Amino acid sequence: MRVVLVGPPGAGKGTQAQFIASNLSIPKISTGDIFRANVSGGTDLGKLAKEYMDRGDLVPDEVTIAMVRDRLSEDDARDGFLLDGFPRNVPQAEILKKMLEEWGTGLDIVLELVVDDEEVVRRLAGRRTCSQCGRIWHVEFDDKQDDICDACGGRLFQRDDDKEETIRHRLEVYQEQTSPLIAFYADEGILVGVDATGPVEEVTQRAMEALRPYT
């Protein structure tokens, strides 16, 4: 199955992606995670991306698209994948469509995680990520008293772009550049909205329900 997850920053794309991809046994491909790995590895790509990410702006399309093309060409993505954070604007969506057509395939479904701005700010301000396994936690909702990952013992950190000012800017960028994707995929007839409020497990259940006809 070929799935795209869209939604504003903090909607829970990364959180849901880890459960959905594992339920469906497909690789989770997160452009944000790939950029962050490059930033912490100090690669040229990371140095370039960091400047945009720290401001909450999108990394230029040619860089992002080349990176996604490489990743989707890997063996484990041949029979399916879950894209988290890509596409992020209409030009990226058009190129993805062409790329998949060239490979004789296409997307099955685009899941839109729907949540309001106030909840997004609350979620992102309390987010912590494991530096070892990448698992996502929340100080309040997961009742984290320390900065140790309960899954692997790794140390948790706060993302540089999770400052309130940068969060607001990322929301503006989402409205201006990413939200037109909703109409784009509705026109394609593959968009399904999922209520992303409430406990994580309930959101996963709703998402799996929406995916059922395609499994």
Q: Which is nearer to ligand AP5, 53 or 213 (CB)?
A: 53
- Nearer to ligand AP5 among residue 7 and residue 24 (C-beta): 7
Q: Which single residue brings its beta carbon nearest to ligand AP5?
A: 32
Residue 11 annotated as lining a ligand binding site: yes
Contacting positions for Zn ion (CB under 5 A): 130, 132-133, 135, 149, 151-152, 154
**170 catalytic per annotation:** yes
Q: Distances in Å between the alpha carbon of 118 and those of 16, 34, 54, 168? A: 19, 27, 21, 10
Give the residue with the Cβ less far from Zn ion, 88 or 128. Answer: 128
Place of tokens 């409205």: 175
| Rounded distance between C-alpha atoms, residue 157 and residue 179, angstroms | 29
Exactly one of 13, 28, 123, 128 is catalytic; which is it?
A: 13
What is d(CA 162, CA 54) in angstroms, rounded to the nearest whole number?
9
Which tokens is 133 given? 């396994």
Q: Which does 52 bind (CB under 5 to 8 A by kind): Zn ion, ligand AP5, none?
A: ligand AP5
**Is residue 127 flagged as an active site residue?**
yes
From 2, 28, 50, 88, the catalytic residue: 88
DSSP states of 9-68: TTSSHHHHHHHHHHHHT--EEEHHHHHHHHHHHT-HHHHHHHHHHHHTPPPPHHHHHHHH
Residue whose CB is less far from Zn ion, 119 or 147 = 147
13 noted as active-site residue: yes
Determine if 134 is a binding residue for ligand AP5 (CB under 6 A): no
> How far is residue 143's CA from residue 114's CA, in Å, rounded to a whole number?
24
The footprint of ligand AP5 (CB under 6 A) covers 7, 9-15, 31-32, 35, 52-53, 56-59, 64, 85-86, 88, 92, 123-124, 126-127, 136-138, 141, 161, 170, 199-200, 203
